Amino acid sequence: MTRCVLTGIDGSPQSEAAALWAAEEARRRGCALRLLHAWPWLDAGDDNTSRPGDPRPRALDALHGIGDRIRHDHPDLPVEAAVLSDDPVDGLIAAAKGQELLVLGSRGLGGFAGLLVGSVGLAVAAGATVPTVLVRFGQAPAERTAAAGATREVLVGLDGREPCDAVVEFAAAEAELRGCRLRVVHGWDLVASWAYGGLMSPMVDPVEQEAGETALISPVLAGLRARRPGVDIVEEVRLGGGAQALLEASTRADLVVVGRRERRHRLGPRLGPVAHAVLHHCAAPVVVVPHP
């Protein structure tokens, strides 16, 4: 089966923005686009949507409406619209297995229960086996770049102590597809010392520590540049935690890439603190890349 880009439709402006973003990404990757609406007890032949307060008519109208719009804008892009008779989180995670990418609106007003506070988007990003993008309304890359008047960039966070090739490779591939720069950001904090009564001021030279932090990521970047000679790769070592560094740098980014370890937590799939903070506060679309 041909791999495709999937996106969830729930009738909200946010999911429509995500679908338009996903269409551009599918076109860029040369693959099909699949639009999905998930709702328990719903199947393709279920037309009993006349109950008062039932949000499904709006969601199903949006599913077909956005499909028609994308087909008009991208006549050469294969587009499929489908409904899933399943819980939104479980259904989207299952449907995404083995696919290229899953794209969701980061907030919604109905359809996907709980998306108003981001619960479904966060749960899917924490459990999906494929890279998952959360797009907010008004985050179209072309609009952001025009407004910022800046060079287009893909931004990726890199932990120099636990670097992950899968995450930086995904980011480099995205930058190459888009023909834009890749900015690799490593955030670091001053090392404080413990003493009787609490923490003391940092006991190291910040300049010396910054040089050490830069040395941590240099081998990773050297390998990446060798594998992706056509990508303009710049590094940025920032004082501040990983989430803070990414958020501060994200104002000029088309896309922000963060990693998520696939290890299981006793309470179920979990996002790490950096990914969680970036998803909640980032100014750009964020893709969460699962890795071992």
Domains of the chain: 4-135 (3.40.50.620), 141-291 (3.40.50.12370)
Say how far apart CA 155 and CA 246 lie, in whole Å: 8
Residues with Cβ within 8 Å of residue 288, at least 6 apart in sequence: 125, 126, 128, 131, 132, 133, 134, 258, 259, 260, 271, 275, 279
Whole-number pLDDT of residue 284: 87
The average pLDDT across 216-227 equals 91
Q: Assign 192 a pLDDT band (cuts: 50, 70, 90).
A: low
Residue 51 scores a pLDDT above 70: no
Q: Is 143 exposed, middle or buried (0-12, 13-18, 19+ CB in 10 A)?
A: exposed
Whole-number pLDDT of residue 268: 54
Q: Assign 112 a pLDDT band (cuts: 50, 70, 90).
A: very low
Residue 199 scores a pLDDT above 80: no
pLDDT, greater one: 154 or 206: 154
Whole-number pLDDT of residue 110: 44
Whole-number pLDDT of residue 109: 42
Residue 108 scores a pLDDT above 50: no
The average pLDDT across 102-119 equals 58
Whole-number pLDDT of residue 121: 83
Rounded to the nearest integer, the mean pLDDT of the chain is 80
Q: Assign 180 a pLDDT band (cuts: 50, 70, 90).
A: very high
Whole-number pLDDT of residue 2: 72
Q: Tell me, yes or no, if the pTM score tops 0.95.
A: no
Q: Assign 190 a pLDDT band (cuts: 50, 70, 90).
A: low
pLDDT, greater one: 10 or 110: 10
Residue 214 scores a pLDDT above 90: no
Sheet holding 286-291, edge to edge: 79-84, 32-38, 4-8, 101-105, 132-135, 286-291, 255-261, 153-157, 181-188, 233-239
**Which tens digits make up the pLDDT trace of 117-152?**
367 888 899 899 999 999 876 655 444 444 445 568
Whole-number pLDDT of residue 85: 80
Whole-number pLDDT of residue 70: 96
E strands, the chain, where? 4-8, 32-38, 79-84, 101-105, 132-135, 153-157, 181-188, 193-195, 198-200, 233-239, 255-261, 286-291
Whole-number pLDDT of residue 118: 64
**Which tens digits make up the pLDDT trace of 231-280?**
999 998 887 777 888 888 888 899 999 998 876 555 556 788 888 888 88
Whole-number pLDDT of residue 114: 36
